[in-house]
Structure 1
Amino acid sequence: MELQQYLRIVRDYWRSILASLFICIVVAAGVTLMQTPMYSTSSSVFITVESGGTAGELSQGANYAERQVNSFINVTTSEIVLQPAIDQLGLDTTPTRLAKALEVSSPANTSVIKIAAKDPSPEQASLLANTVAANLEEAVTSLAPPGPDGTRLVTATVINSAPIPASPVSPRVTTNLALGVLLGLLLGFGQAVLRNMLDTRIQTTEDIEQVTDAPVLAVIGHREGEAGRVAETSGPAWANAEAYRRLRTNVGFVGLGGQHRSSMVVTSSLTGEGKTETVVNLARVLAQAGSTVLLIDADLRRPQVAARMGIDADLGLTDVLTGRGPMYEFVVQVAPNLTVLSAGTVPPNPSELLGSDAMTHLLEAVEKHYDYVLFDSPPLLPVTDAVVLSAKVGGTIVIARSGEVRRPQLAAALDLLDAGEVTLFGLVLNDVPLSNRSHYYSSYYYSASQPTDEGAPDEVWKPRRKRQLSAR
């Protein structure tokens, strides 16, 4: 992953990262508060070995002293030292348990034994360390062998008494909280990366690029309001106007360099991805630019264009294809340069109608009289209608709703188009939250409170029939 991808993960999952961090800090603080404060202090005992005055005797005495120190370290935690300490202090414990409260050591190359004691009471910790040191002094005297003249060859002397500690050595509040923060960040970022890897939803243009090399024609932001409702026709209230104009600009370039045809299908992988809203708004901006546009509702299973445009839906495309009348009797002009042909009667065989010769003849006729012919079709995965129709037109635009369709679903939909030898003009990423909009397109977005010079028509035409063209 690149740095930009990690930053996007942090941006997308910052809430769960902060939640993990907060939980770990709370747990660390709770564990710290539940721990009993422990105080530690230590006393020191010096081991002395009597030796002769020659160099050899001094060397032998030093080696002997070192061996004796190691031996008396073990003696310190034995019953001969600890049982008297238990009796003197009146402790309700055993030598074995008391030994666990002591830490006996000797600095390297020294004859000093350091006795450290831990206890919840600072006074008791000091008293225990000093008592054990005194008992060790007595134990050394009784255990050390006498010399030829009756003197003890090894003696022990307490050189440092254990002071009463002023502050506990555990729990370490700062250390525990720091570990909680570190663990929280690791867990939070780890779960964010894992969730990102497991989340196959299309959310950004980078996600689309992982599925296909086809261009992203536009990125349309999320708009508050009724789900699926087409944008208002007044300029200041038309959110994402610049995104649709960008789509219009890119649509004007698709197909150049080959056989340029004016017809195209707008579809999606699944239902509810905003294909109808997109094709209606695309038709509007194309008409605003002066192009003649025919919008045909080819979703013969769940037609929505007529209801969204506020026109009669009783008669339309199916009636033209079945020969019930010429097309000019069913088209409605809803705005300057914009004409709509609704779906009409819902047929029992939508795929057969869309793939019929009558559909081919209709396409030949309307492509000669309109600059753009736009089809709103059913989604690709549930039914085959969109593939059948796409094979007849100039190309197809696929709408991908951010956070709705998943990469395997989009890939399967594009595979259907590829199997049908359909020309894919590109994709439109729809309903993108403001935080997810790609920086490549950030300068093209305007909110509803930022009207642009090129708004929707000031005059909203009332629907009326257009009597110019008949199906051949």
Structure 2
Amino acid sequence: MEKDQDVIEIDLLAIARAIWRKIWLVIAMVIIGTVIMFSYAKFLIVPLYESRAMMYVNNSSLSLGNTSFSISSGELSAAQSLVETYIVILKSRLTLNAVIEKADLPYTYEQLKNMITASAVNATEVFEIVVTDKDPVEAELIANTIAEILPQKIAGIVEGSSVKIVDYAVVPAYPVSPSVTKYTAIGFLMGGVISVGIIVVMELFNKSIRDEDYLLQTYDLPILAVVPVMGQTEKGHHSYQGYQENKGRS
């Protein structure tokens, strides 16, 4: 059992030495991976921008069809339910088609719907409309057009509703994606992992004779003679003729 553990330890040390001998390959692959992923994120991926508008929902008395009910501002769960209802109206075909027409957008209903997300802010009666677009000016235009049209659409569906604009959208100054830093870090890690993986595989499949210890532990045979190679002073650079002869006899 102890012998197996020693063999594993020696193998790990051999792999570590192999990685160190080829550290130049690791460094080169890390640099190449970093440059490739940085260039990909910086120049090939189309940046996306987000523009946000915020709206406030207040209803003291509502009626949906023949059903009437009232809520107070302190009923948080009712407010959340109400916000979800208005988000559904926001993403309806009727509302978004009106936005497309007013803003003169080159999108279909489905395309525009995929560009819009909305959610309550901290579980309150305020909800945020987020428009993601490759054009920052267009993102701001869409968000503000929705903020102008949505109160009318809600009032036409839910009686007694009151929706007001809390904050208009502005033109975003910076893209939200891609994250150049994230892609660069991925390239750095990929370069390191791939290069180390190649070195480890090469070392595991390397069956060449390395030194005396390798012969003793791998084949458990005595070494009759070691003939050093002229001009080589480092350990392990020998011609194992005596071993080959002994192996042939056995």
Name the TM tier (shorter chain): 0.7 to 0.9
Report the equivalent of 1:258.
Answer: none
Q: Secondary structure at the match of 2:199?
A: helix
User: Taking structure 1 as reference, are residues 206 and 189 closer, same or farther at Cα in structure 2, changes over 3 Å only?
Assistant: farther
Question: What is residue 53 of structure 2 aligned with on the other side?
Answer: 43
Question: Quick one: structure 1 residues 180 and 115, their matched pair in 2 at CA, closer, same or farther if it must change by over 3 Å?
Answer: same
Tell me, in whole angstroms, the C-alpha distance in 1 between the residues paired with 2:92 and 2:150.
10
Quote the residue 1:173 is aligned against: 180
Q: Could you tell me whether the CA contact under 8 Å between 2:80 and 2:120 is conserved in 1?
A: no
Alignment: residue pair count: 230
- Asked if the contact 1:41/1:162 (under 8 Å) is kept, the reply is yes
Query: Residue 4 of structure 2 aligns with which residue?
Result: none
Which amino acid in the other structure matches residue 13 of structure 2? Q
Which structure would you say has the larger RCO, counting Cα contacts within 8 Å and 6 or more residues apart? 2
Taking the TM superposition and a 5 Å limit, the aligned residue runs for 1:380-459 are 397-398=242-243, 415-417=247-249, 419=250
CA distance in 2, matches of 1:415, 1:218: 14
The one of 16, 20, 40 aligned to 1:7: 16
SS in 2 for 1:210: helix
Q: How far apart in 2 are the matches of 1:80 and 1:139?
A: 8
- Distance in 1 (alpha carbons) for counterparts of 2:25 and 2:39: 21
Alignment correspondent of 2:167: 160
TM-score using structure 2 length: 0.78
Q: In structure 1, the residue corresponding to 2:169 is in which secondary structure?
A: coil
TM superposition shift of 1:142: 1.3
Shift of 1:86: 1.0
- Distance across 2 between alignment mates of 1:75 and 1:116: 15
The Cα shift of 1:159 comes to 0.4
2:217 is matched with which residue? Answer: 210
1:34 is matched by which residue type in structure 2? Answer: L
Counterpart residue number, 2:67: none
Give TM-score scaled by structure 1 length.
Answer: 0.44
Percent identity among equivalent residues? 23
Structure 1 gap segments, 5+ residues each: 146-151, 224-238, 244-272, 276-378, 380-396, 399-409, 420-472
Q: Whole-Å Cα distance in 2 between the matches of residues 84 and 132 of structure 1?
A: 9
* Correspondence for 1:127: 141
Q: Paired residue for 2:121, among 107, 111, 119?
A: 107
- Kindly indicate whether residue 103 of structure 2 is the aligned counterpart of residue 89 of structure 1: yes
What is the alpha-carbon root mean square deviation over aligned residues? 3.1
Task: Find the counterpart in structure 2 of residue 30 from structure 1.
Answer: 39
| 1:192 matches 2:199 | yes
Q: Is the 8 A contact 2:54 2:165 kept in 1?
A: yes
Instruction: Report which of the two has the higher share of helix.
Output: 2
C-alpha distance in structure 2 between counterparts of 1:58 and 1:219, whole Å: 96
Unaligned runs of 5+ in 2: 1-7, 63-69
SS at 1:192 equivalent:
helix
Could you tell me how far 1:116 is from its partner in structure 2? 0.9
Q: CA deviation at 1:169?
A: 1.3
Is 2:76–2:123's contact at 8 Å kept on the other side of the alignment?
no
- Between Structure 1 and Structure 2, whose CA radius of gyration is higher? 1
Distance in 1 (alpha carbons) for counterparts of 2:218 and 2:57: 78
- Distance, in Å, in 1 between the alignment partners of 2:82 and 2:210 is 74
Shift of 1:19: 4.0
| Contact kept in structure 1, 2:76 and 2:124, CA below 8 Å | no
Q: What is the deviation of 1:93?
A: 1.0
**Native 8 Å contact 1:25 1:181 kept in 2:** yes
Q: Distance in 1 between matches of 2:130 and 2:201?
A: 47
Distance 1:171 1:190 in 2: 28
Q: 1:457 maps to what in 2?
A: none
